[in-house]
Structure 1
Amino acid sequence: MLDPWSLQVLIAVGDRGSFSAAASALSLTQPAVSRQIAGLERRLGVRLFTRAARGVRPTPAGAVAIDLARDSLTRLRALEARLASFADLETGELRLAAFPSANTHFVPEAVRRFGQLHPGVTLSLRQLDQMALLPAVQEGSIDLALVTEWHLYAEPWAARNAPAGAEPERLAVEGVELVPLLDEELLVVLPAQHRLARRRRIRLADLGDETWIDGAHPDCLGPVTPLAEALGAAPTIGFWCDDWTGKQALVAAGVGVMLMPTLAAVAMRRDVVLRPTSPVLPPRRLYAATAAPAFRAPAVTAMLEILAELALSRT
């Protein structure tokens, strides 16, 4: 019987197109990866890869083997998750991931409440590339990730799997359930001394000449079309910053303005002001992405309940 580790090496080589890239991803040496593939080829009696101009490419047999290996590992992870659902909340681990604005207050408060209720469960918060959040849930390396609908529409599979007019929660994300939590309003942040800072609501048309501060997806200006229509032209982006502390510091320095989702509003500086906009920009929906209910561990269910309570308190 083939061992799961060999299948994982096979998939890594197929996905990355070279032994060296697969070795780097798996923290192995290139010769070790070569030996694993050679051993698989001897065991199966077929050649799995051929040399290409740069790296390797699967043979027809190799392509079939990669697909079957991927399916086999998915089933093994499902087995592990299903058995974990019989465990209690006295021990275990809960692995979380989120995006920066959710980490300013929402996630830390959820972690605090969970820790008080279930001190025996080890919590960890992983830092991942934003476009890796949903794949991490699919692969089982993360138990729960907070994502937005902007993640969903930006994913490469979204355009392939979304029927016309589909709601984000209807997207085909195999093995993942998207639990809606709340809709965030997008507000504008100005320096406290800005000419419009005393207004209760800011007409976006009055900010058409401003320099804007943008950031990494999804903590960015979002879908630009509604903002551009309200401004009367595409926003002039002068600064890029992924960190909310740094973005606010740029606003406070008077070099630009930005949009802030309500999740990050609790962490505002005193030398900036937060104002609703006219027109109101389309809200951003927040989801918890987890394994499908049949494979969900009790710790994930408990965290979902806490997140739902926190979301309700913000509406």
Structure 2
Amino acid sequence: MRNTKNALRRLDYVFTAVDQGSFRQAARVLHVRESSVSRNVVALEQFLDMQLFERSAHGVRPTGAGRAWIDVARTHYEGLHQALAEGAGEPRRRNALSIGISGLVGRAFLTRLIHRFRDLYPEVGLVIEDISHGQCLAAIRRRRLDVVFVRGAQADTSCCSETFGHERLFVLLPVHHPLANEAAITWADLADERLLMPACPETPSARPRMADHITAEGAVVQTCGSASEMTAILKVQLGQGVILAGECFARSVAIDATTWLPLWGENSVCPIKALWLGSNPKRALLRLLGIARNVAGPVSDERGSSRHQSG
């Protein structure tokens, strides 16, 4: 029994390392030492007689053989956890829906969606929580969350994704900033700015792609993970950086000593996406997604393509 528990624990280390892109970040998520993650991964590699990861100074990534093995193992692992949860007397969870929200985008859409769902299905308990961008996929795979609404995150083959709308990005600047009196700004205007990422201490591979848009314009941006949205806002008020949010949030939330400016130009509109497991058996999740499609209506991106679903 102890060997079984050790094997399952080692799988936790492996899956978290894949999600986070490094043993250091995996250790932070799991609240253990980095050496413990490395040691357990090595032990599993020795047991399998297979190298699961390529190591470098920038982090880790699965080898070709490692990726194939991890994908198969993860499918069975998540199925086992689901079977154990359903057989361990969790009737309340079956009639509850856990919703994660990442970022300050799409709040108006989510408000309409949740109000509509509660009106139609008052018997379903809703649990709503904020989650950092880099932890979304792990929370879904482990079924801690049933669905996560994110700002343009990419799903992998283990998750389904669907776009439910788009929202213009706004930039929060301190009132004394040289751009504060402009009508609108572009990515290039943010050259050398410190872009604060609330609750987002991820590896570069998991970091939101907004910074990529800035560097694509030939500008330089310094990203900085903050502990919370409130901490990031305080830093903006102190002149220590800027943050991005969706238009609905920007127009409804006034913050002392700051000003909101719309972002214009290429990549200034952010998609609102949902991520979930296709194997999730909850009927309430399917109902929520159906209502989301009705609330969103026809969806097209900046290039006019229609809503896309992948699994």
TM-score (norm 1): 0.59
Q: Structure 1 residues 229 and 144 mapped into 2: Cα distance closer, same or farther (>3 Å)?
A: closer
Matches within 5 A, 1:118-197: 118-126=121-129, 128-149=131-152, 151-152=153-154, 171=156, 173-174=157-158, 176-197=159-180
- The aligned counterpart of 1:42 is none
- The aligned counterpart of 1:12 is 9
Deviation, structure 1 residue 133: 2.0
- Segments of 5+ residues of structure 1 without an aligned counterpart are 26-51, 153-167
Alignment size in residue pairs: 255
Out of 269, 278, 293, the residue aligned to residue 308 of structure 1 is 293
Deviation, structure 1 residue 304: 1.5
Aligned residue for 1:249, secondary structure, equals: helix
* 2:147/2:274 contact within 8 Å kept: yes
- The aligned counterpart of 2:209 is 222
- The aligned counterpart of 2:66 is none
- Segments of 5+ residues of structure 2 without an aligned counterpart are 15-25, 31-38, 53-68, 301-311
Q: Give the number of the structure whose alpha-carbon radius of gyration is greater.
A: 1
Q: Structure 1 residues 113 and 8 mapped into 2: Cα distance closer, same or farther (>3 Å)?
A: farther
* 1:104/1:264 contact within 8 Å kept: yes
Q: Structure 1 residues 125 and 280 mapped into 2: Cα distance closer, same or farther (>3 Å)?
A: same
- The aligned counterpart of 1:201 is 184
Matches within 5 A, 1:19-168: 56-57=43-44, 59-60=47-48, 71-75=75-79, 92-102=95-105, 106-107=109-110, 110-126=113-129, 128-149=131-152, 151-152=153-154
* 2:194/2:221 contact within 8 Å kept: yes
Aligned residue for 1:145, secondary structure, equals: strand
Deviation, structure 1 residue 131: 2.8
Q: Between the two proteins, what is the percent identity of the paired residues?
A: 20
* 2:98/2:145 contact within 8 Å kept: yes
Q: Structure 1 residues 277 and 189 mapped into 2: Cα distance closer, same or farther (>3 Å)?
A: same
The whole-number CA distance in structure 2 between the counterparts of 1:9 and 1:263 is 47
- The residue type equivalent to 1:300 in the other structure is L
* 1:177/1:289 contact within 8 Å kept: yes
Aligned residue for 1:101, secondary structure, equals: coil
- The aligned counterpart of 1:286 is 272
- The aligned counterpart of 2:259 is 273
The whole-number CA distance in structure 2 between the counterparts of 1:295 and 1:204 is 39
Deviation, structure 1 residue 227: 1.2
* 2:102/2:133 contact within 8 Å kept: yes
- The residue type equivalent to 1:98 in the other structure is I
- The aligned counterpart of 1:298 is 283
The whole-number CA distance in structure 2 between the counterparts of 1:184 and 1:141 is 27
The whole-number CA distance in structure 2 between the counterparts of 1:123 and 1:129 is 19
- The residue type equivalent to 1:284 in the other structure is C
Q: What are the superposed Cα offsets for residues 64-88 of structure 1, whole Å, 9 maximum, x if unpaired?
A: x999875544445677999xxxx9x
Q: Structure 1 residues 210 and 177 mapped into 2: Cα distance closer, same or farther (>3 Å)?
A: closer
The whole-number CA distance in structure 1 between the counterparts of 2:189 and 2:10 is 53
TM-score (norm 2): 0.59
- The residue type equivalent to 2:134 in the other structure is M
- The residue type equivalent to 2:163 in the other structure is P
The whole-number CA distance in structure 2 between the counterparts of 1:301 and 1:92 is 13
- The residue type equivalent to 1:196 in the other structure is L
The whole-number CA distance in structure 2 between the counterparts of 1:284 and 1:193 is 27
The whole-number CA distance in structure 2 between the counterparts of 1:265 and 1:209 is 23
The whole-number CA distance in structure 2 between the counterparts of 1:15 and 1:186 is 36
Q: What are the superposed Cα offsets for residues 20-51 of structure 1, whole Å, 9 maximum, x if unpaired?
A: x9xxx7xxxxxxxxxxxxxxxxxxxxxxxxxx
Q: What are the superposed Cα offsets for residues 281-307 of structure 1, whole Å, 9 maximum, x if unpaired?
A: 353322212232x75422112222343
- The aligned counterpart of 1:34 is none
Q: Structure 1 residues 195 and 112 mapped into 2: Cα distance closer, same or farther (>3 Å)?
A: same
Out of 198, 220, 234, the residue aligned to residue 249 of structure 1 is 234
- The aligned counterpart of 1:235 is 221
- The residue type equivalent to 1:299 in the other structure is A
Aligned residue for 1:185, secondary structure, equals: strand
The answer to which of 216-225 and 299-308 deviates more is 216-225
Q: Structure 1 residues 220 and 183 mapped into 2: Cα distance closer, same or farther (>3 Å)?
A: farther
* 2:199/2:227 contact within 8 Å kept: yes
* 1:148/1:287 contact within 8 Å kept: yes
